[in-house]
Amino acid sequence: MTITLKYYGHATFGIDANGVKLVVDPFLAPNNPLAPVTAEEVEADFILLTHGHGDHVADAIGLAQRTGALTICNFEIEAWLQNAGVEKTHSMHIGGAYCFPFGRLKMTIAHHGSMLPDGSNGGNPAGLLITFTSGERLYFSGDTALTYDMKLIGEAGGVDLAVLNMGDNYTMGPDDAVTAAQFVQAKRVVPSHYNTFPPIAQDPYAFAAKLKERANIDCTVLDPGEETTI
**How far is residue 203 from each of residues 23, 99, 166, 209, 225, measured CA to CA in Å?**
25, 37, 10, 10, 18
State the nearest-atom distance from the C-beta of 12 to Ni ion, in Å: 12
Whose Cβ is closer to Ni ion: residue 9's or residue 103's?
9
Whose Cβ is closer to Ni ion: residue 24's or residue 230's?
24
Our finding on whether 25 is near Ni ion (CB under 5 A) is no
**94 neighbors 64 (Cβ within 8 angstroms):** no
Distance of alpha carbon 159 from alpha carbon 18, whole angstroms: 18
Contact segment (CB under 5 A) with Ni ion among 51-59, 88-96, 176-184, 215-223 equals 51-59
Contact segment (CB under 5 A) with Ni ion among 89-97, 115-123, 143-151, 186-194 equals 143-151
- What three-state secondary structure class fits 108? strand
Distance of alpha carbon 102 from alpha carbon 111, whole angstroms: 27
Q: Rounding to the nearest 10 degrees, give the CA dihedral for residues 148, 73, 191, 149.
A: 10
State the nearest-atom distance from the C-beta of 103 to Ni ion, in Å: 25
State the nearest-atom distance from the C-beta of 164 to Mn ion, in Å: 13
- What three-state secondary structure class fits 17? strand
Interface with Mn ion (CB under 5 A): 53, 55, 143
User: Applying CB under 5 A, what is the total number of residues that bind Ni ion?
Assistant: 2
Q: Which of residues 52-81 bind Ni ion (CB under 5 A)?
A: 53
List the single partner that 25 binds among Mn ion, Ni ion, none, CB under 5 to 8 Å by kind: none
**105 neighbors 91 (Cβ within 8 angstroms):** no
Distance of alpha carbon 225 from alpha carbon 71, whole angstroms: 23
Our finding on whether 168 is near Ni ion (CB under 5 A) is no
State the nearest-atom distance from the C-beta of 187 to Mn ion, in Å: 25
Q: 104: phi > 0 → left, psi -120 to 50 → alpha, else beta; which? A: beta
List the single partner that 10 binds among Mn ion, Ni ion, none, CB under 5 to 8 Å by kind: none
Our finding on whether 143 is near Ni ion (CB under 5 A) is yes
Whose Cβ is closer to Ni ion: residue 10's or residue 53's?
53
Distance of alpha carbon 83 from alpha carbon 91, whole angstroms: 14
Our finding on whether 136 is near Ni ion (CB under 5 A) is no
Q: Which residues bind Ni ion (CB under 5 A)?
A: 53, 143
